[in-house]
Amino acid sequence: MMLRNPLLVVFMVVCSSFFGERLAAAQAPPPGFWRGQSVSERVTDLTWVNLVVKYEGEFSFSTDAKGFINGIATVRYTMNVDDERLRGFIAKYNAASDLELSVAPGIQKLGPFLGTRAKFRTLQGVSGSYDGGTVVCQGAIAGTLDIARKLLHLEWAKTPASIPYKTYRVYPTTREVLGIGTGVAFSPWIADAVVTQPAQGHWEARAPVKPIVSGKSGTRTTANWSAHIEAAVKK
């Protein structure tokens, strides 16, 4: 049926636009203050050992009407060396001789890894850590809340300083420095979070927990982070 009254047509268009905007607004997270937390692990396979970096933290941020983010995060980083494979391999030849690892039969490849000073019979394994143990990084975070796609993206506003670390050869009563270096303060937000409204007025964001494999060594990173809105900005 055709509507012949022009005023009625205009009225219906205006009403449709008004209620459409109200419905879209109700289905989108409002500007507000959010809090969240993260737990991550990064494992790098170095053939004889695994380098394991764990980092967890808390963060908070505000969003504006355009979805821009301004906030702060505190993340604690720890590093350790999983040397189970190396210890098992050494144990097989533990009583063979006191030769250096670089010339011991069948394990010549360990020489470049551990250095020629490593002794076969006395070496127990390898350890490593950041200088000072746990390192705390605190700084500003930025990002965007894509209202249309309902995706939350977070990142450090400025790349944190590198973290110094040391690795060691471990012996029964002592340890020797094997290597010195610096590591990256990895981002806890390697994947964007999906924003949902499980209950009226309650908005939350959760990133998919799925290991990400990268690099030639097959580094596996698993990041679990989420956030929720605590208070909406009053208009």
Residue 228 structural domain = 31-232
Per the domain annotation, does 66 fall within a domain? yes
Residue 51, in any domain of the structure: yes
Query: Which amino acid is located at 228 in the chain?
Result: H
Tokens of 30: 């409002």
In a domain, 197, yes or no: yes
Q: Give strand pairing partners of 34.
A: 61, 229
d(CA 213, CA 216): 9
Residue 1: inside a domain: no
Strands (E) across the chain are located at 32-45, 50-63, 68-82, 125-130, 135-146, 151-156, 163-170, 175-183, 193-199, 202-206, 212-214, 219-232
Position 120 scores a pLDDT of 61
pLDDT at position 47 is 82
How many angstroms separate the CA atoms of 27 and 82, rounded? 47
Q: What is the pLDDT of residue 27?
A: 73
Q: What is the DSSP string of 131-173?
A: TTSSEEEEEEEEEEEETTTTEEEEEESSPPPPEEEEEEEE-SS
Which residues does 183 contact at the CB level (< 8 Å), separation at least 6?
Answer: 53, 79, 130, 162, 163, 164, 165
30 DSSP 8-state letter: P
| The predicted structure's pLDDT at residue 206 | 96
Domain assignment of residue 63, yes or no: yes
Q: Quick one: pLDDT at residue 15?
A: 42
Q: What is the pLDDT, as a whole number, of residue 86?
A: 87
Instruction: State the total domains in the chain.
Output: 1
Query: How many angstroms separate the CA atoms of 3 and 127, rounded?
Result: 81
Q: Locate 59 and state its tokens.
A: 């963060």
Q: In this structure, is residue 164 part of a structural domain?
A: yes
10-residue averages of pLDDT along the chain (235 residues): 48 41 58 96 91 97 95 98 88 59 56 61 88 95 94 96 94 91 94 94 91 82 94 68
DSSP 82: E
CA distances 132 to 77, 78, 82, 165, 166, Å, are 11, 10, 19, 9, 10
Q: What's residue 109's pLDDT?
A: 62
Q: Is residue 205 part of a domain?
A: yes
Is residue 16 included in any domain, yes or no? no
Q: pTM of this prediction?
A: 0.80
Q: What is the pLDDT of residue 25?
A: 43
Predicted pLDDT of residue 124: 87
Yes or no: say if 91 and 150 are a contact pair by the CB < 8 Å rule: no
Task: Measure the CA–CA gap between 41 and 196, rounded to whole angstroms.
Answer: 25
